[in-house]
Every structure is written in C-alpha cells, then in structure tokens.
Structure 1
Amino acid sequence: MNMIRTRVRQWMPASISGKAGLIILVVVVAVVLLGPLAAPYQSDLTVGIPYAPPSQAHWLGLDFLGRDVLSRVLHGGLTVVLYAGIATVAAYAVGLLAGLFAGYTRSWLESVLMRSTDVLLAFPALVFLVLLAAAFGPGITGIVVATAIIQLPPIIRIVRSATLEQSVRGYVEAAVARGEGTLSVLRREILPNIARPLSADVGLRFSWSVLLIASVNFLGLGLQPPASDWGLMVSENRGGIATNPAVMLVPAALLGALTLGINLLGDALVGGKE
C-alpha cells in the first residue's frame, strides 16, 4: 500500500498549473463518461423549433433541427475521446517499438525509419487527412487511420532521441556487460527511464488527435449526421450562432478545455515542481 501511495505522489502534479490541468481534465472526462446517463433527451430527438434560445426546459437551447443542445453536448464527448484515444494508442504502439529499436540498435533500421518519417513529415497533416478520407469514403475509419499515421514521425523521433540519451548511461552498459539481450535492456533499463517524458508526449499527441479529428468532423469528412460529436456540432450549427450562441460555443469550449487540461498536466509531469 505504501508503495502505491509513493507511486501516486510521484505522478501527481506539484505545480499549480498541473493541478489546474488535472482538475479541468477530470471535469471534462466526467462529462464524457457520465454525460449520456444525465442527458434529459435522446441526442437525435427533435423537441422544438430550430435554434430556439435557452429556456427552463432546454438549458442550452435547440440546434438547427430543433434537438436539445444539452443532450447532444452530453452525448458528444465520447466519440471525441474514443477515436482520438484509438488513434493515439495505435500510433504509440508502433512508434514506441520503432523508436526504441532505432535508438538502441543504431543499425540500418534507423536510417530506413528516419528517411520514412521525413517523407511523412513532408505532407501537411490536414491535406493527408483529407486524402485518406477521400480514399476511405465518408466515415471515421479513414480519419482514425490517417491521424495515427500523421502522429508516427514525431513519436518515433522523440522515442529515438530519448533512447539514444539513455543507451550511453552506465546502468545500460552494466546490463549489457551482464549479458542481457536487447529486449531485456529495452524493457528493464531504458523504457522505465523514459516513461515520464513520454507520458507528457502521449498527452500532447492525444490533444493533436482530438483537434485533427474534430477539424475533419467540422469539414464533414468524418462522422456523419445524425451522430452527436462536439466537432460536428460546431460545423452543423454555424448558421445559428447569432440566434443561439450556446449551440456552438459550448462544444467548442469543451474541446478547448480537454486539450488545455491535457497540455497543462503534461507540462507539469515533465517540468516537475514550479
């Protein structure tokens, strides 16, 4: 139990900004996970006049089809977190392995990986997303795949750089002298010592995934109506911002809060105490 408490304290942010980021993130995640249970209406149910302003019955008013905005907001976060999470996990699963082996072995694999990442970096992210969306057709599958591929080059570079730095340390040389194999050295010596900075980068990549997927949903190339998604809500209701500003501002604010909380917490984990 004491060991668990020690671990929790080590990973808890000590800075004010880190604690603020954690609080913001907890609030947004609570909205994402518990929102569908608290929604007063079904997300696709028409209940009144389009763009009706906030009222006692509909706290955030109605959208362009007369659906309850609060209900759609409470349902709309799960897709943002789910698909961004899948893209980030997939990208890191590949990028972590590639970066570790490239940084430690320093073989021909490193040259191949670095040249491949240079090619991917040459493509603007949004252009690449649009191309894959067109290839897969309207829907979320191509967007998630493209988002994961876009995140690969920076992940590989960061992991490789961290691995190179750790591979010349004395404890790694001692492990090699004991006869430990490559996998054992990477798993037991290098990976634990690069976990903290990488945890912050995971947050950054997740934030980018959220913004990329939300941007493509905003363009109408990702999730399709009547799906409830914060990015899609901003796109669908642009025409009603003068009549009912909450229909756009609330989902946009939640997207901003999600990325802000992740970035503040990630910076605190890397920077330590302030």
Structure 2
Amino acid sequence: MSERIQRMLRDPRILIGALLTLAVVLLALFGPWIAPYGEQQIVGRPFTHDGAFLGTDYLGQDVWSRVLYGGRSVLLISLVATLLGVVVGTLAGVIAAYAGGWLDEVVMRAGDVLLAFPQILLALVVLSAVEQPTWWMIALLVALAHIPRVARVARGVALTYVSRDFVAAAEAMGESRLRIAVTELGPNLVVPLLAEAGLRLTYSIGMVAGIGFLGFATDPGAADWGQMTNENRLALLVQPWGVLAPVILIAVFTIGTNLIADGLGDHAAKGTSS
C-alpha cells in the first residue's frame, strides 16, 4: 500500500493538481488575514481602479479583499456536501452490492428517482421556499445530488469483490453483513472513491457557486465567489475583475481537483487490472 501511495504521489497530474488545490484552499482560509481592506469597506467609486490592484465592485468595495473573504463559505459548504454525499452514497452502494436481491433494487431505483430531477432546479425550488437559506441547507441539497451517483460507482466496484474469498471467510467466521460491508469491502474502494470524491467536489463547487450566483447565498451582504459574479456582471466590460477574479479561482480549483481525480482514477484502473 505504501508503494502504491508513493507511485501516486510521483504522478505529475496528482502533484500539480494537489498544488493548485492547496493554493486556492490556503488563499480561502487565510485570505481574511491578508486582505488590505475590510469585507464590506467602501474604498472608492464603484467600478473604478480605486482600492487595491483589482479595483472596486458595484458598491465601491475592494474586489481583491472581497475575493479573499469570499472563498471560505464556498469551499466549506462544498467540502461538507461532498463528504456527506460520498459517505452516504458509498454505504448505500456497498450495502446494495453485498445484500443484492430486493434491497439492491430498492436502493438503485430510489437513486434513479433522485437522478430524474434536475438537481439545481430541485435546490432552487427548496431554497425559494425559505426566507433565508442556511449553509447546512445548501450542503444537504448538494449532497443529495451526489448520493445516487456515488452509490452507483460504489456498487459497481463492490460487485467485483463480493464473491472473493476474503468475503466468504468473513461470513464463515460469523461476522455481520454490515461489518463485512464496512470493514472488508470498504478498504478496497478507497482509491476508486477518492477519484470519485474529487469529481464530486468539483461538482459541489460549481453548484454552490451557481446557487450563490442566482441569489441564494447564505448572507446577501457577505463576500461570496458565486454571488460576486452576479453582482458585478453588468460592468464586465468596464471593470471585469469583479467577475473574473472569483471565476479564475473557481476554475483553478476545478482544474486541480480534476487532475487529482484523473490521476487517482488511472491508478485505480491499473490496480484493478493487476
């Protein structure tokens, strides 16, 4: 296992992806401490080059400072949604693959029902029904979009292991089905599901930013990368940095996580074939 991890770390895609992802995460975490101005501080006229080097936004707030403040909420919600979706989806997929029969059918058909709904539309319908969306509400809605997709991947991978000798040995020792699914099948899914988690995190970032762009941010006055693109889009030709700066950071993060996911996916495929 350690040799396999070392090979993955030597993969240039995984290394470059990790560096890009880490750079954006560090900027989002420590950005408020290095921001030249406050999150809502007016520093000049709207859509001008006043303030720091990226100019001002639609209210005259410093764009660079808003960017540094705006990453935490997007990344936090995306990370929570991804973790929740991957954990629940993995459990559902592994249990369905191992149990088989009617339970497998119920889990997969329930996933089909969720996949039938456009997830962003479902999220907007729910969020428009509440007075003020909360971060955990957005995280749950995004996680709900991940669960059936992750469950299908986990089920497909787990089906290759349910008939192996180590599963039969665990059954002969009298271990419960749930324990076998978690402790015997679970570790064999780590690398494939890490690749899937990278893709799910990319999807989470896009969906959370999209929800903010459409006006459903948790705090209308706070800095938010998705919300910033909506607030400043009308002056894109005059002062583009209010839109471009958050979009570039989201793109860099997306590229980084996709590179990691692609590298892990290739290593998972090689491990399966060998």
TM value normalised by structure 1: 0.91
Aligned to 1:44: 40
Contact 2:217 2:224 in 1 (8 A): no
- 2:220 counterpart of 1:220: no
Listed one character per residue, the Cα deviations across residues 217-255 of structure 1 (whole Å, up to 9, x for unaligned) are 101123342111111111100122122211111100001
Listed one character per residue, the Cα deviations across residues 146-204 of structure 1 (whole Å, up to 9, x for unaligned) are 21111111011111111111111222222223333223322332111111100111111
Distance 2:132 2:104 in 1: 36
Residue 12 of structure 1 and its aligned partner are, at CA, apart by: 4.1
Distance 1:243 1:8 in 2: 51
More displaced stretch, 173-182 vs 121-130:
173-182
- 2:255 counterpart of 1:268: no
Residue 131 of structure 1 and its aligned partner are, at CA, apart by: 1.1
Contact 1:132 1:143 in 2 (8 A): no
Instruction: State how 1:123-272 maps to structure 2 within 5 Å.
Output: 123-141=117-135, 142-272=137-267
Contact 2:95 2:178 in 1 (8 A): no
Amino acid at match of 2:111: T
Aligned to 1:93: 87
Taking a change above 3 Å as real, the CA distance of residues 9 and 194 of structure 1, as seen in their structure-2 partners, is closer
Contact 1:24 1:257 in 2 (8 A): yes
Is the partner of 2:259 in helix, strand or coil? helix
Contact 2:52 2:64 in 1 (8 A): yes
More displaced stretch, 220-229 vs 6-15:
6-15
Aligned to 1:108: 102
Distance 2:82 2:10 in 1: 26
Contact 1:13 1:272 in 2 (8 A): no
Amino acid at match of 1:52: T
Give the superposed CA RMSD: 2.1
For structure 1, the residue ranges without an aligned partner over 5 or more in a row are: none
- 2:9 counterpart of 1:13: yes
More displaced stretch, 13-22 vs 206-215:
13-22
Amino acid at match of 2:75: V
Residue 39 of structure 1 and its aligned partner are, at CA, apart by: 0.7
For structure 2, the residue ranges without an aligned partner over 5 or more in a row are: none
- 2:30 counterpart of 1:34: yes
Residue 89 of structure 1 and its aligned partner are, at CA, apart by: 1.8
Aligned to 2:75: 81
Count of equivalent residues = 268
Is the partner of 2:40 in helix, strand or coil? coil
Distance 1:152 1:218 in 2: 24
Taking a change above 3 Å as real, the CA distance of residues 9 and 144 of structure 1, as seen in their structure-2 partners, is closer
Taking a change above 3 Å as real, the CA distance of residues 255 and 140 of structure 1, as seen in their structure-2 partners, is farther
Distance 1:76 1:181 in 2: 46
Is the partner of 1:167 in helix, strand or coil? coil
TM value normalised by structure 2: 0.91
